[in-house]
Structure 1
Amino acid sequence: MGVSASAYGAGTAELRGVSVDHDASIIELMKAMGLSPEVVERVARLWGKSAARNGGQTHLLLGHLLDTAAVAGVMWDRYLSAAFRGRLDEVGGGRGRLWFMWVCGIHDCGKACPAFQAMDAAEAAPVLASGLVLGRLPAGRGKRWRHDVAGAVVLRSRLVAEWGGEEAAGWVWPLVAGHHGAFPSVGALDPPRGAQGRGAAWEGVQRAVVDVFTRAVGFEDLADARPAAALRKAEQLVLSGLIVMADWIASDSSQFPGLSDAGLISFGEARRRAEAAWERLRLRGGWRDLALPEGPLAPLTGRLGVRPRASQRELVERAWSMPVPGLLVAEAPMGEGKTKAALAAAEVLAARFGFDGVFVAMPTQATSDPMYEQVLEWVRTFGPEFESQVALLHGRRRFNAWWRAIWEGKSRPDGGGCGCGGDGALDVVGDDFGAIDEDADYGMVSALSSGDGVAGVGGEGPAHWFLGDKRGLLTAFAVGTVDHLLHAATRTRHVMLRFAGLAGKVVVVDEVHAADVYMRQFLVEALRWLGQAGVPVVLLSATLPPVQRQRFVDAYLSGVLGAADVHEAVPEPAGYPCVTVAYGVNGRAVAETSREVVRSWRESASVELAWLSDTDVAGARVAAVVRGAVADGGVALVVVNQVDRAQAIYRDLRDGGFGGVLHLLHARLCAADRAARTAECLRLMGPQAGGDRPERMVVIATQLAEQSFDVDADVLISDLAPTDLLLQRIGRLHRHSGTRRPVAHQVPRVVVTGVAPGREGVPRFLRASERIYGEWSLLRAAALVSEAAGALTGAGVGERAGSGWSIPADVPGLVARAYGGAEVCPVGWGEAGAWEQWQAKEREREKDAEGYLLCRRREWASPTLEGLHYAGSRAASEEELDAVVRDGDPSVEVVVVRRVPGGYRAVDGTWLGVHGEVDDDEVTDRLMGGALRLPSRLTDAALAELSPLPGWAGMPWLRHRPALVLEEDGTRLLGAARVSYDGDLGLVVEREAG
């Protein structure tokens, strides 16, 4: 029998009558094991970290293995969720902690081979002096024998022999082979001649490394380490990510200085080093065995301070009723309070099933920021110490004042002083890519050289280690774009690290309908893996088509049951709002939904719809209607599908002397302008506006205003969009109770434009709309609007000729009809042909996504990770990885600067220097406030013509960002277009004549 978990803290462990002193050096241990002097000498010379790459100090191989195992022990005590600890205890036959330390530490046993030991001539000299022969090795980088694969070769045959067959060995060896980010197939375990080491000397050394490490950790021998059960494949992926995490921590030479004398290496010493490093790095887990709430609704009433609405109660009660972790799909109208209900449900699920934190996925960066602040406020209620464990995951987080306060020690937005007490010198790379130092030997960028790890190390405050490459999801609580969830379902390097970050949490995905067909492939894949890993998931939407709800349920249950084609029909909900629950119990799939009508917090109201025929990008007719709509006061929201059209409407109103507050909001605004305008709109139109609400105001926006934009408009003018998205826009209309409105706007009204009658009455759409959404979904939306607004004509704003829509009561029916199988368009609109084109394009996009999905469909039932990275993505930057999960036209983010005599200025006028130099954080912030994403039609020109300024070479936030340098007249040529940046309009793009 092996030692118990508690024996790790003792100085001596009893192993079947053989005493192992953890403070005894590995030299003493090897002698006690009866190894020959020659083997002892050879094992004691093997290096694991070279002085050249380890802060000038050699670290012996067994020292690194023991360091990693010791880190794993601390992770068990202070980081792993109770749920995963429980699974490892099952696998380890009650010795989960010991087995976890062993499997993490054994990862680098493959370094005991000639191919690795010969990689550094200085380190190889003592190895040669011990009598080991390195021989002639294959030349060329492409022929190098990697030590991760070598480790699988060292272990596999022994595990098969000593663990009684392939069943146990078959899922463990890929964990070793894949610890540098990719899982090879079994066919890759074929070393070049001489690379692995042949003959009794090398075989004896390799056996001894495994045996000595195994004994030092606490098992009697390798057979004693045999797992009592197997993890499921998704759980193996989690474990693999935790192995990588332990390895990366133990590979930090600033925390684990080298030990070149084997007499100084012991497991006791490794434990002390790991404990100290964990404290210095401020690493920690989340809730750590969260107590059950005091009452069923306490997470809502006490922690969140809300008077629960019926839909919120339904979601939380469903979380209480589930017998095992599962999937919750909450559908409720816009403004219903779904997010707070989801956080309350997450607390219930975490407390009941042993999860340690939460990840909230949002559709965009813009929607992530307010959610981050909401989650911060929520997490503080569990204790002030949790505030520093909330990560914001997106490329512009530097501009979030709360993130800066907590993670960089800047002034807090509430005036409460600095955040974490750090020194503000945090140096972070933003590309989220790389590998650990030894990977540089194989031509990969190092992740541990990012310089992000040590600002303000020690004491209280956030763990900056989590800001490094691929580590963001490993924080206990995180809010970020949905891309981070989707990345965890891609066949990319180190996907296991991302997935491990999800597995200890409750995962909440807001606005889940926002994923298009391409992104939905990755969402479905993620749900399948999360289901198999037993991770609770909460999906939120106001406008979810029933076919998508069913697909999400089937995907999660496919993971739970470990089968590729599970279909468990979801019953028709009794009403709207509703909650669907899916889980597996005793090998049986369960899918349930709200069986009784759940009342919305507000009564449904009749919304008038009217047409405005207009497909002109200039939008003059729209501007005229807007003027009329607010002539006697009111707040109008205009949502159009094209930036050029939004700018034209704004210019028409501005230049025409509009007498009121006027704002323009779109994606071609610089980061600082966009953030400031969004905040101002929320201040004037948000739930707390009160007396600040203007008498007359117009906001012209693009799709940014479509979701997670908590504003209240009196009247909405919107370009036609697919039905679910049009309903999302309507969700900004008469949103807040108690808002005072002019008499003319007591009834909510929507004017739908961006469409005009064509030949024989068939609608014509804005070209931009058709390019984005496709003809089929627009035709069906036009048909449904016509039922409420009457037939589309070429006249001005039509009078309401239909029955209008009752919102929110009509929402689920409208969405179901929009995406159902029955035709809804009038005869002659060509709906069938549009459907065929749409289907063909959707199939093409689905096929494009399949090439990057984490697992091929036919391999889903495979029980191990072997061969998972058969053809993975080699994305080398954050933008490239985003392109894996989003199939839109590629675009480039730039920083706008202005050339002036003698140097450059930021877009806001801040002086930069002769070469664009940035000399402090404040100037960097001002400069980065000029970041924006170019329209995709300028991508080729931007890649060919733009580059960072010379003065940015040493700045992590800037050195990879192209500068869009505007000349002294405020413009520049970019390809065939002339671009400029206008303080009101944002980026203006004009095609050059000729």
Structure 2
Amino acid sequence: MRSMGLEPEVASRLSVLWGKSAARNRGRTHLLLGHLLDTAAVAEVMWREYLAPSLKRRLDEVSGGRGREWFMWVCGIHDCGKATPAFQALDPVEAVPVVAAGLTWGRWAKGKRWRHDIAGGVLLAPLLREAWGREAAGWVWPLVAGHHGAFPSVGSLRKAPVELQGRGGEWLEVQRGLVDVFTFAVGFDGLSAVRPVGALRKAEQLALSGLVVMADWIASDSSCFEGLGEAGKVSLAGARRRAAAGWARLGLRGGWGALEVPGSAVEPLARLGVVPRESQVELVDRVWAMPAPGLVVVEAPMGEGKTKAALAAAEVLAARFGLDGVFVAMPTQATSDPMFAQVVSWAESFDPALAGQVALLHGKRRFNQQWRQLWEASAGEGQEGSGGDEYGAVDEDDEFGYGTDSCGAAERDAPLRWFLGNKRGLLTAFGVGTVDHLLYAATRTRHVMLRFAGLAGKVVIVDEVHAADVYMRQFLVEALRWLGQAGVPVVLLSATLPPAVRQTLVDAYLSGAVGRADVSEAVPAPAGYPSVTSAYAVDGRVAVESSTVAVRSWRPSVRVGVEWLPDALVEGVVVADAVRAAVAGGGVALVVVNQVDRAQNIYSSLVSGGFEGEVLLLHGRLCAADRAERTERCLRLMGPGAVRPGRMVVVATQLAEQSFDVDADVLFTDLAPVDLMLQRVGRLHRHDGTRRPEGLSEPRVLVTGVADGRAGMPVFLPASKAIYKEWPLLRAAALVAEAAGGLPPASGSGTGPAAGPGWSVPEQVPGLVARAYGEADVCPLPWARREQAAETVWLKELEERAAEAQKFVLTRPREWASPTLAGLHYGGEHGVRKEEDLEALVRDGKRSVEVVVVRRVRGGYAALGGGRLGVHGEAVGAEVAERVLGGLVRLPLGLTEAAETDLRPLPGWAGDPWLGYAKALVLEEDGWGVVGSSRVGYDEVLGLVVEEM
């Protein structure tokens, strides 16, 4: 320190500033400079072992070729705000040597206490402006001020009180000395030498901020970085040794690194073990031709192999543009599990060790056997800490809950605990999870930068993108803007999209890519179906291209017979009778309805009518274990290559609508918007080579959930209207009428006429969707007034729901032009404290509650799936604990408020990492529990049953 020209008093004072207190650091004080150097050393390891080539290239560009040292500096300087009276006074024991060195403080005035992250911004901003100028300083200081999860505004840094600067010049001298000593230690001649020669784009700043947080959290693990209380032991060389050892013990790593560019478009498809189809080759060829990272929209029939093609395209994109991993976003937890298996196999084809770098991101992953084998055999899930770092005294390892022993023994092929913690899953090299995790990165919530850092440097694939409704789409659009600005390639997959939605998604990505909110580049109409649309920007100029030559689907279009089955009653007796008739001589029927009660009733009617043992019920009110078991059974009996039973009926809700790779001989479906009905049709005659009964050799769909009303006006199921609204249902009913050859016949008159033209699938799919949501007249003239009124209501609701979502997106339109992260969290975090809150935030704003169902027995409790619990509910042994968790089920929305008030964990669950925060629904010995004004039971076949008392 003296060699840098520091006065002895300043050097002496700097050598006693503490960064980690002994009370919260395994009994050993860690000096502030030591923690800064530890973090810089971790950043250096991350540069070498973790950062994507694309990110390193950008950091090299803005630092004048010194990206590694600059990354070390910006990560390490994060805690400079601890060199303030406000922080040093927080621990009376640690404060003693600080005061003895001549750094004093008085009694604080009542009011706000300054957190050390914001204090760091106050301390560093004027030093950077002096050394670098206002523009360069303006985008760097928020990286420091926001490292605890929220970016303050410029205004919050003004009028810094005595808590930060103290009285006299001693504090200012030691603060400047800390910055200078650290800057010199990481390899710069002085603060001026650190000045960036350019600026990162705002999205790149967000990703960098997340990497700062990552480096800080790793360096804050006291089991890897024990405290150093003597200044003579603090050095960068020592920090480098500690960081290397800690990184190795944690087992962390990146993904591919520098991936070799495939030799041909066929090569990455061959890796996936597929015989290339035209549509798959078209996608890979298109990403080969893109001159810059961009957005690719793939529209192809169900079963076309879109996801495999997307993985092949991801390999090409990663190799060409320096990406180091992939995140695959799926619409549901159920669809994530089979994709996880596929991505694990794909990752292993590059390097067997990469299997351990694939994260499964959803709340039920514990029930995925492959996930548990790869990840949880050697480590438990990290948990979010309950304490807040209000004034910066709480150490990061305690606050953010990855424990004190995460550097313990680790299997070499798994990154183990660190990536399992809350908010960190996306940081793994390869991830598969619900689309929620992508949308979380577009919310104005705490630590959003950590989530976004997990997307930057990857290829992002979003499957079934049509499943995002208007509310969710606001977050998807926001995510696309940020990903476009960060240069992250995105592949969107869908059976088909309404043209207006496709245009919105393309415009969002291009707006980010060129940094303007008003970009609107017309998307050319594709030449045929399947189709690929690509959008990118080069030097500020945008380009949008669609398939100019029609691409053949892998299987030819077939006529699907469309018939009416009038029934608008929840009981579903008409449907059950028709199903019995359809498969009386054998065959496999799929029944997809819009309401759980209706599914339960149809199931019960079929069983009582002689189909016992031949019907399977699948819906969202099954407990986790039952739902997983039934889904697996469906795939085993109806999936590709299955030996199918002679007769089988699956009665399901919308769970069977997406990424459900089963093959049915005949389909019964409640009326739904046309694009969703076509998704259901995609389960019909899906697999080639399947032997079918003589009467079911042609694909046939019977549309129910609707009946005739007065003057030929359709009557819809109340549940269908509540879910989908009337206007899309009217348009769908009109298109079904065209295909069926007429309007719904009178209720009770049997199935409708089969003389209509039906649908040619997949040939007509894009046109049907475009007509359903377009401006052209579709409905019969007598429906016109009703349709017009319904459209007005529908559009108003869309506008209201979009506006509601806009309250929570990461930036509002007027904020997009801001070049820095300052003030990003202005307006707060909207009460988001738990993962369930965040899920509700991006889904529809309505939070539902999951509970664990247990049974009361004499002397204690029992798991729903069997197994006696202790007198207070404690699980004895891993097998019983597994059965307890298998009883997890989601309650209907109407019970949310009562469940929040009435239900709580059993006493014996306290401290359990999985059950400690779970609400227990206790079923008494008569089989019923009470939630609010409802009786709730669980039938081992029907699932959750709710009755009003």
Structure 1 partner of 2:667: 716
What is the aligned counterpart of 1:269 among 213, 221, 238? 238
Mapped contact 2:251–2:414 kept (Cα < 8 A): yes
Q: Measure how far apart 1:926 and its partner are.
A: 1.1
Question: Is residue 208 of structure 1 aligned with residue 162 of structure 2?
Answer: no
Q: Deviations over 1:585-608 (max 9, x none)?
A: 121010000000000000000000
What is the aligned counterpart of 1:252 among 217, 221, 227? 221
Q: Measure how far apart 1:800 and its partner are.
A: 1.5
Q: Deviations over 1:825-882 (max 9, x none)?
A: 1123211111110011011101111111101101111111111101132300000011
Q: CA RMSD in A?
A: 1.6
Alpha-carbon separation, structure 2, partners of 1:741 and 1:752:
21
User: Aligned in 2, Cα 1:430/1:515: closer, same or farther, shift over 3 Å?
Assistant: farther
Alignment of 1:357-756 (within 5 A): 357-409=325-377, 422=378, 426-429=379-382, 439=392, 441=394, 446-448=399-401, 450=403, 453-454=406-407, 456-457=409-410, 459-658=412-611, 661-689=614-642, 692-756=643-707
% identity of equivalent residues: 66
Alpha-carbon separation, structure 1, partners of 2:568 and 2:200:
57
Q: Measure how far apart 1:746 and its partner are.
A: 1.0
Q: Deviations over 1:11-46 (max 9, x none)?
A: xxxxxxxxxxxxxxxxxxx11112111001000011
Q: Deviations over 1:602-632 (max 9, x none)?
A: 0000000111111111100000000000011
User: Aligned in 2, Cα 1:958/1:353: closer, same or farther, shift over 3 Å?
Assistant: same
Letter in 1 for 2:91: D
Mapped contact 2:637–2:645 kept (Cα < 8 A): yes
Alpha-carbon separation, structure 2, partners of 1:711 and 1:704:
12
Mapped contact 1:532–1:560 kept (Cα < 8 A): yes
Letter in 2 for 1:861: A
Letter in 1 for 2:947: E
Alignment of 1:955-966 (within 5 A): 955-966=912-923
What is the aligned counterpart of 2:779 among 819, 825, 832? 825
Structure 1 partner of 2:833: 876
Letter in 1 for 2:45: V
Mapped contact 1:439–1:445 kept (Cα < 8 A): no
Alpha-carbon separation, structure 2, partners of 1:889 and 1:550:
28
Using structure 2 for the length normalisation, give the TM-score. 0.98
Mapped contact 2:385–2:401 kept (Cα < 8 A): no
Alpha-carbon separation, structure 1, partners of 2:863 and 2:159:
55
Structure 2 partner of 1:897: 854
Using structure 1 for the length normalisation, give the TM-score. 0.93
Structure 2 partner of 1:294: 263
Letter in 2 for 1:987: L
Q: Measure how far apart 1:459 and its partner are.
A: 3.9
Structure 2 partner of 1:842: 798
Structure 1 partner of 2:29: 58
Structure 2 partner of 1:967: 924
Structure 1 partner of 2:731: 780
Q: Deviations over 1:239-272 (max 9, x none)?
A: 0000000000001111111101001000110111
Structure 2 partner of 1:759: 710
User: Aligned in 2, Cα 1:139/1:888: closer, same or farther, shift over 3 Å?
Assistant: closer
Mapped contact 1:471–1:498 kept (Cα < 8 A): yes
Mapped contact 1:671–1:932 kept (Cα < 8 A): yes
Alignment of 1:65-214 (within 5 A): 65-139=36-110, 143-163=112-132, 165-191=133-159, 193-197=161-165, 198-214=167-183
Structure 2 partner of 1:356: 324
Alpha-carbon separation, structure 1, partners of 2:436 and 2:592:
25
Q: Measure how far apart 1:133 and its partner are.
A: 1.3
Unaligned runs of 5+ in 2: none
Question: Is residue 793 of structure 1 aligned with residue 745 of structure 2?
Answer: yes
What is the aligned counterpart of 1:853 among 781, 806, 809? 809
Mapped contact 1:432–1:468 kept (Cα < 8 A): no
Alpha-carbon separation, structure 2, partners of 1:867 and 1:926:
47
Alpha-carbon separation, structure 2, partners of 1:843 and 1:769:
20
Mapped contact 2:561–2:700 kept (Cα < 8 A): yes
Q: Measure how far apart 1:293 and its partner are.
A: 1.4
Q: Measure how far apart 1:150 and its partner are.
A: 1.2
Q: Per the alignment, in what secondary structure is the counterpart of residue 261 of structure 2?
A: coil
- Show structure 1 runs of 4+ deviating over 2 A: 190-193, 429-445, 448-463
Letter in 1 for 2:745: T
Q: Deviations over 1:738-783 (max 9, x none)?
A: 0000110111000000011122211111111100001111111001
Mapped contact 1:545–1:819 kept (Cα < 8 A): yes
User: Aligned in 2, Cα 1:147/1:451: closer, same or farther, shift over 3 Å?
Assistant: closer
Alpha-carbon separation, structure 1, partners of 2:551 and 2:213:
46
User: Aligned in 2, Cα 1:285/1:331: closer, same or farther, shift over 3 Å?
Assistant: same
Letter in 1 for 2:569: D
Structure 1 partner of 2:758: 804
What is the aligned counterpart of 1:46 among 8, 17, 30? 17
Q: Measure how far apart 1:888 and its partner are.
A: 5.3
Q: Measure how far apart 1:543 and its partner are.
A: 2.4
Q: Per the alignment, in what secondary structure is the counterpart of residue 760 of structure 1?
A: helix
User: Aligned in 2, Cα 1:604/1:433: closer, same or farther, shift over 3 Å?
Assistant: farther
Structure 2 partner of 1:21: none
Mapped contact 1:434–1:444 kept (Cα < 8 A): no
Q: Measure how far apart 1:107 and its partner are.
A: 0.7
User: Aligned in 2, Cα 1:760/1:443: closer, same or farther, shift over 3 Å?
Assistant: farther
Letter in 1 for 2:459: V
Mapped contact 2:136–2:195 kept (Cα < 8 A): yes
Q: Measure how far apart 1:453 and its partner are.
A: 3.1
Q: Deviations over 1:132-167 (max 9, x none)?
A: 112222345xx111111111111111111111x211
Alpha-carbon separation, structure 2, partners of 1:430 and 1:614:
48
Q: Measure how far apart 1:460 and its partner are.
A: 4.0
Mapped contact 1:428–1:451 kept (Cα < 8 A): no
Alpha-carbon separation, structure 2, partners of 1:478 and 1:307:
25
Letter in 2 for 1:730: V
Unaligned runs of 5+ in 1: 1-29, 410-421
Q: Deviations over 1:785-818 (max 9, x none)?
A: 0100121111211121321100000000000011
Mapped contact 1:433–1:469 kept (Cα < 8 A): no
Letter in 2 for 1:800: A
Mapped contact 2:382–2:417 kept (Cα < 8 A): no
What is the aligned counterpart of 1:983 among 927, 933, 940? 940
